[in-house]
Chain A
Amino acid sequence: MATPRLAFRTAVLICEDLPPDARAIRERLTSLLPEAIVWISPGLCRGEIRLADWIQAHPVERLVLGLCQPLTNPGALQAEARKAGLDPFGVEIRVLEAGQGPGGVERAALQLTAAADRAQKYSGSRPEQVRPGFPQGLDRRALLHLSWLFYETVPGVDPARCAAEQGCQICRQVCPYGAWQWTDGWPELDKAACQTCGLCLVSCPRGAIENPTWAPEQIEAEIFTLLDPHLGDPGPRGLIFECRREEGEIPDAHPAWLKVKAPCGGMLPPSWLLAPLLLGAGAVRVRLCSEGCPHHLEERLRGVVGFCQEVLAQLDLERDRVDLAGDLHSPPPSGIDRLEESGLFTPQGVARVFQRLGEVRQRVAWQLTSPFAPLGRIDLDPEACTGCARCAQACPAGALIREEEADLIRLVFDPARCVACAQCLTVCPEQASSAIRMAREVDLPALRRGQVVLREFPIARCLACGRPIATRSVLNRIEALLGVEDAALARYLRQYCADCRHAFAGFPKEW
């Protein structure tokens, strides 16, 4: 039996004025989403429908609204959903553009189907991931009245995945607003300061930072459907990432360019720009805010786009398959492939994007170094590194691994996991001697090889209890630091572990 497309009971409500023809769109949607309730609702855009009553009569868990104009008061819709027991963040709203021309019904149905698929990936929100707000520009009397109250989601931390205990502070380092603060050893978001640019979401190597309405899985599900060759018009398709703040049509854009919202155009990582090419897009464009990026991330985006173009050049593909949104009058080029693969937008999927691109283009031996590369390579200097393994303890991505076997400590490196956060460099006690070096690069042969042993270090064991004291290199380093005057002490340190030394001295460990 085939798996149903929709995991949750879903309804699609469309405005009766939806261009080009609401009834034809409903018919098409009914065939695309046979499990969903598809309903034409007069006055939906004007707020005339009592949504709570409708939902109570048709109990659903996810809702898609196809509108012909933006809602004036999204808070009222959220309250209606809540009243009927529906999570308001499980409601996807799509404002469909007028003047669709030929194929408009098919495109409208495609967008609403993609929205329904996106809604399936919404997995709920926690209280700390929601903040109240009021629309801008209200007069003083109307301000702060509950009728205008609405909620939006903000990033939150999943403590089970967060690497704060290892000293990771990547979210704090990347936030342009200083919104991540440390309380009791854990990151806590200052909701008032957060502008939901999304940089922390894509920078966390463990995916511990989650914004419930901007999860990578949701964005991927929408893109996957938008680029599905079995749906919509035949022919090449292009994808436009658009900042969520940007509204309205792109003048004279070719209808084969399909839009998908992102928290901010400037936050897009290279893997998000390249992955759609594997899912069937002929080209990818990024549309920044027309009045300039409010987070001042234009330079970052240009760098990321430039890096993606370098990757495309390595693959013998046209560089402009990934670009900033410019001339969109022409149709996009044909796609390079369509993989039925998911997880390409998650932090763990970054390396896979480059590997798959190499496989699809049969270019498996390329390497690219760039300050915008999302992956890193770690090298150890065999002379300077003592094998203390502080780097492995601190690595939030799990790219550096410490393995212990018999009388050896082994430092293992996984290039597919390294996000070049430089945490290992920060904690290395031998940093002054460049014991550890990091390069931002995508190295396909290294990715193919997988985990490699960087170096093995022999362990010195305690003469009294037999437990490991440290690596011999660490003890050599200590001896060198102590100098010849303390040779006896150095020898003592080499022979006994800290516990036994304390026991000999007759002092409690705490001393």
Chain B
Amino acid sequence: MSSGRKNQPEARPALRRGMRMEEAIPLSEATRLRYALYRFFAASFLYPRRDRLEQMEEAVEVLKACTPWLCRFAFYEPWRRWAERFLEQAEQPWGLKLAYTDLFGSLPPQASVYLDPDGLIRGRLISELEAIYRGMGLVPSGAYPMPPDHLAVELEFMAFLCQREASIWQEGPPDLRLLSLERSFLSRHLRRWLARFARDVRRQAPDNPYRDAVEAVEAFVVHDADWVTEILRHAADGGLPDGSAGSG
């Protein structure tokens, strides 16, 4: 999948080092934070190449600087656990590579395993996902051939939606259709299979370092679905505040 960006973690455009940490952050900034987290998590489920690990380490440092914001969210503890485990493991990349192959070789992080109505790896679910991606102007990338139902690709797609939402927040409240698409993608796809995938990982590989990654992404995705629902609920109740507004 390609949207004019490389498939690499890229937290910096949203959250710059040294950004002022106010007690209250407006929603536009929260959306940028979500974007950065989705990108980081997407990279977490790609093969741990050396260059990717370096970029992820940098992303963790940037995100750790956002702790006053991050600790506002319920997914903070699982995220922190994975971030610390990752930094620890990144010093021995061979160990991480072994853990990656060990776990995801036997338990592929692909939605079709859990959701395809016919139980096929390249079945109807793949077509449905491709249609959703194409609907947002994304086309499969030859440079990064990944199955569209891979966890990393689904997380990347959410990052793409968050990026679009964040740019709309600059002008004012975002398009409700975009928020609805986020909610529907989370509830119909990511959230629907992640809990079962996480359960399998816990059962099959309780000591694998990627268990922390799976638990963190599960907590984050469940939270994000609730978060988007809450924003939509407020939008339905009486409109959203201006995204660029100051502290509350």
Contact = CB atoms under 8 A, between A and B. Distances in A.
B177 interface: no
A142 B248 contact: yes
A147 B69 CA distance: 9
Contacts of B30: 146
Interface stretch (A81-89, A115-123, A250-258, A329-337): A81-89
B159 to A, nearest CB: 19
A146 B21 CA distance: 12
Q: Is the interface of B mostly helix, strand, loop or mixed?
A: helix
A79 interface: yes
Interface residues of B, number: 40
A134 B219 contact: no
Interface string B45-82: 00000000000000000000001110111111110000
Q: How large is the interface on A (under 10, 10 to 19, 20 to 34, 35 or more residues)?
A: 20 to 34
A87 B71 CA distance: 11
Nearest to B67: A83
Contacts of B242: 141
Contacts of B241: 140-145
Contacts of A192: 229-230, 233
A79 B247 contact: no
A94 B179 CA distance: 38
A134 B77 contact: no
Interface stretch (B1-9, B94-102, B220-228): B220-228
Given A128-B195, A141-B241, A147 B247 contact: yes
B248 A127 contact: no
A141 B24 CA distance: 11
Contacts of A145: 24-27, 241, 247-248
A67 B143 CA distance: 60
Contacts of A87: 77
Nearest to B219: A127
B77 A82 contact: yes
B226 A132 contact: yes
A256 to B, nearest CB: 39
Contacts of B72: 75, 79, 82, 146-147, 149
A42 interface: no
Nearest to A84: B71
Nearest to A138: B248
A131 interface: yes
A279 to B, nearest CB: 34
A183 interface: yes
Nearest to B195: A128
Contact of B24 (A133, A140, A147, A183): A147
Contacts of B226: 130-132, 191
Given A75-B72, A127-B74, A143-B248, A132 B230 contact: yes
A315 to B, nearest CB: 46
A148 interface: yes
A485 interface: no
A191 B229 CA distance: 9
A138 B24 CA distance: 14
B199 to A, nearest CB: 8
A97 B38 CA distance: 46
A151 interface: yes
Nearest to B22: A147
A144 B231 contact: yes
Given A82-B76, A127-B75, A134-B234, A147 B229 contact: no
A510 interface: no
Contacts of B124: none
Contacts of A146: 24-25, 30, 69, 72
Nearest to B239: A140
Contacts of A151: 74
B164 interface: no
B113 to A, nearest CB: 13
A413 to B, nearest CB: 34
Contacts of B67: 83
A340 interface: no
B120 interface: no
Nearest to B225: A191
A73 to B, nearest CB: 10
B149 interface: no
Contact of A130 (B26, B74, B248): B74
A141 B243 CA distance: 9
A85 B77 CA distance: 7
Task: Name the 7 nearest CB pairs between A and B, nearest first.
Answer: A145-B248, A142-B248, A147-B24, A127-B222, A83-B71, A127-B219, A145-B24
Given A134-B230, A147-B23, 11 more contacts: A127-B75, A127-B218, A128-B195, A132-B223, A132-B230, A140-B241, A141-B246, A144-B27, A144-B231, A184-B192, A191-B229
27 contacts: A82-B76, A82-B77, A83-B71, A83-B76, A85-B77, A127-B74, A127-B75, A127-B218, A127-B222, A128-B195, A130-B226, A132-B73, A140-B241, A141-B242, A143-B234, A143-B240, A143-B241, A145-B24, A145-B247, A146-B24, A146-B72, A147-B23, A147-B247, A147-B248, A159-B199, A192-B229, A192-B230
